Structure 1
Amino acid sequence: MTVRSYRDLTVWKKGMALAAAVYQLTRKFPKHEEYRISGQMIRAATSVPANIAEGHGRGTRRDYAHFVSIAKGSLAELETFLLLAIDLDLAPRGELGPVLAQAEEVGRMLTALRASLTGSASPSLEPNP
């Protein structure tokens, strides 16, 4: 299948599904969290597919890889908020766990996408010894 648009990318579709799941999840949080962790989670979650789309629309693979890196950063932020929400008992663990699993899957896909864009065999950020 030829990728004509970012909307053809499985990672973008899964990022969109993750953002929708975060919206649904945060609706169940206590009202006092609306402008606190809920808002931050939504912003981080929506940033993932938005950066994939923006990067895809850029002119170079280097720019695209940069925006995929930004998406990975937003995803790490979201995962941190999800783990904090578990620790704070903001929602049942059974509802947070699947969203965290979705985030981990998107993270693996972003790592693979960035590696393919940079030609890197090892997508690790750790320096070589």
Structure 2
Amino acid sequence: MAENFENLQCWQVCNELKIYIKEKILPSLPKTERFELYSQLLRASRSATANIAEGWGRYHYKENIKFLFNARGSIAEILDHSLEAKAWDYISDEKLQYVRLQTESCIKLINGYIKYLRRQAEEKQ
């Protein structure tokens, strides 16, 4: 188990995605989307890392896994909102492709961490 949630690779990659969303995607959105798509993307990106951190802080495998499922859902939400941003021509194909690759990476890492926690829980029983 990591000493701190910041040491978890899944948190690190999700945090990189959050920073990318804030620096590259959100400024591309029009002001008319400020309280709609902008807000949704910002909250989903924050939710992913926050859920990983909160799950890590619970110290119980089942609770931790529950929060990881929430984080995985937030990552999927980021991709969905990014697809919408592309559909409205708010972002480029390149930005969407980067988000797509990062969300895939985040989900793979979260799934791997879930498998690890399940194995740990089984070993303790």
Asked if Structure 1 and Structure 2 have the same fold, meaning a TM-score greater than 0.5 normalized by the shorter chain, the answer is yes
Is residue 12 from structure 1 mapped to residue 32 from structure 2 by the alignment?
no
Report the RMSD for the aligned CA atoms in angstroms.
1.5
Task: Give the structure, 1 or 2, with the largest relative contact order (CA under 8 Å, sep 6 or more).
Answer: 2
- TM-score normalized by the length of structure 1: 0.86
- TM-score normalized by the length of structure 2: 0.88
- Alignment partners' CA distance in 1, 2:108 and 2:33: 29
Is residue 79 from structure 1 mapped to residue 79 from structure 2 by the alignment?
yes
TM superposition shift of 1:96: 2.2
Runs of 4+ in 1 over 2 A off after TM superposition: none
What is the letter of the counterpart of residue 26 of structure 2? T
The within-5 A match list for 1:20-39 is 20-24=19-23, 25-39=25-39
Per-residue CA distance 1:1-44 (angstroms, 9 max, x = gap): x6211011111111111111111111121111111111101100
Where 2:28 maps in the other structure, the secondary structure is: coil
- Alignment partners' CA distance in 2, 1:80 and 1:95: 13
Q: Which runs of 5+ in 1 are unaligned?
A: 120-129
**Could you say which structure has the higher helix fraction?**
2
Confirm or deny: 8 A CA contact 2:79 2:99 kept in the other structure.
no
* 2:97 aligned residue: 97
Aligned identity (percent) is 27
- Alignment partners' CA distance in 1, 2:104 and 2:86: 16
What is the letter of the counterpart of residue 11 of structure 1? C
